[in-house]
Amino acid sequence: MEPQACDIAFATMVGDEPVFLPIWINYYARIVPKAQLFILVDGLHRVIPPEAEGCQVIRLPSVTPGPGWDVARWRMISLFTNALLQRFGVVVFNDVDEILLADPAQGGNLLGHIGQAREAGVLSPFAIEMLHRIDLEPDPLDPAHPILAQRRFGRINASYCKPCITARPINWSIGGHYADYPTLNLDPALFLFHLRFVDHDMLRGRQASRQAMMQPGAAKGAEVAGAGWLKGAQDMTDFLQSFVDAGPPLENDFSFGWQRRRIIDSWHHDAEAGIWRHDRLHNRKTYRLPDRMADQF
């Protein structure tokens, strides 16, 4: 293990997560000991996969979703991360369906890039939202095999250029998309791959589970957990179909120069929310993943 790995912790929060949690654990356990992987479990009744053995699993009593539920959850996550910073130099917190990757074309040294937060304070990756191109990838996802070998298409979604790598106390907004840290450090080699949309059937099932968590008559939208929780299973099918309708995938080198510049140039303070943020940037353009990334996870 590299000496700098002893100083880095990875953390996430899950409910029942039989697919993405093993992927998350197996990926980061390649670079740090499992004892440096922290898993907050939302609910004492949750089933934890065997891959979690050796990780720091912290079971919490569940709270019924309602107004302010996700605000309180992310406040807790922020405080937990800040507590970990008393023992670790850098903490990485992501949702379990988000994987960080250092571009192989720039050395592929994930730990090295994460470690730069010690000087920078907080780092953000560039974000690629992986998609199931249902017209080009007919087979269901097999989680036992590498994801990027089965799903080769994604889109830019700047909302996932999250300030998720921190060496300073931080307070995140809902979803961890933004924070109160005033400086944007968009790492030129780091990518965040958002995996929520990698399989059509899995996506429909996940959305149905989310809706089942909501109380009958509960407040909607951001009052509970964001507008994404309100969409139904058919909305997910329609979403994936919209990328098919937008046309064939584009080929490029994945440098995304002007898109990175737009994110950086739009950085501003949202005084009402008390956070620093960049503008949104997403559309229905699909990009083919470069071959150099296909074997990464």
Q: What is the predicted pLDDT for the residue at 266?
A: 98
What secondary structure does DSSP assign to 96-157, as a single string?
TTEEEEE-GGGT--HHHHHHTHHHHSEEEEEEEEEE--TTT--SPP-TTS-HHHH--EEEEB
Mean pLDDT of the chain: 92
Question: What is the reported pLDDT for 185?
Answer: 98
Percent of the chain with pLDDT over 70: 91
**Is the predicted pLDDT of residue 7 greater than 60, yes or no?**
yes
Residue of higher predicted confidence among 211 and 269: 269
pLDDT of residue 276: 98
Q: Give the percent of the chain with pLDDT over 90.
A: 84
Rounded Cα distance, 249 and 294, in Å: 16
**More reliable by pLDDT, 171 or 3:** 171
Residue 256, by phi and psi: left (phi above 0), alpha (psi -120 to 50) or beta?
left
Q: Tens of pLDDT along 44-80? A: 999 999 999 999 999 999 998 888 989 999 999 999 9
Region of 175 (left: φ > 0; alpha: ψ -120 to 50; beta: rest) is: left
Calculate mean pLDDT across residues 78-103.
Answer: 98
pLDDT tier for residue 19 given thresholds of 50, 70 and 90: very high
136-189 pLDDT per residue, tens: 999 999 999 999 999 999 999 999 999 999 999 999 999 999 999 999 999 999
Q: Say how far apart CA 242 and CA 154 lie, in whole Å.
A: 13
Report the pLDDT averaged over residues 118-144.
97
Hey, what amino acid is at 17?
A: E
pTM of the predicted model as reported, rounded to 2 decimal places: 0.92
For 37-41, 106-110, 188-192, 213-217, which range has the lowest pLDDT when averaged over its residues? 213-217
Cα–Cα distances in Å, from 88 out to 82, 99, 102, 217? 10, 20, 21, 42
Lowest-confidence pick of 82-86, 111-115, 292-296: 292-296
pLDDT the model gives residue 211: 65
User: For residue range 187-242, what is the model confidence (pLDDT) as tens digits?
Assistant: 999 999 999 999 999 998 777 666 666 555 544 544 565 566 667 778 899 999 99
Per-residue pLDDT, averaged over 119-129, amounts to 98
When pLDDT is averaged across residues 9-28 and rounded to a whole number, the result is: 97
- Write down the pLDDT at residue 220: 52
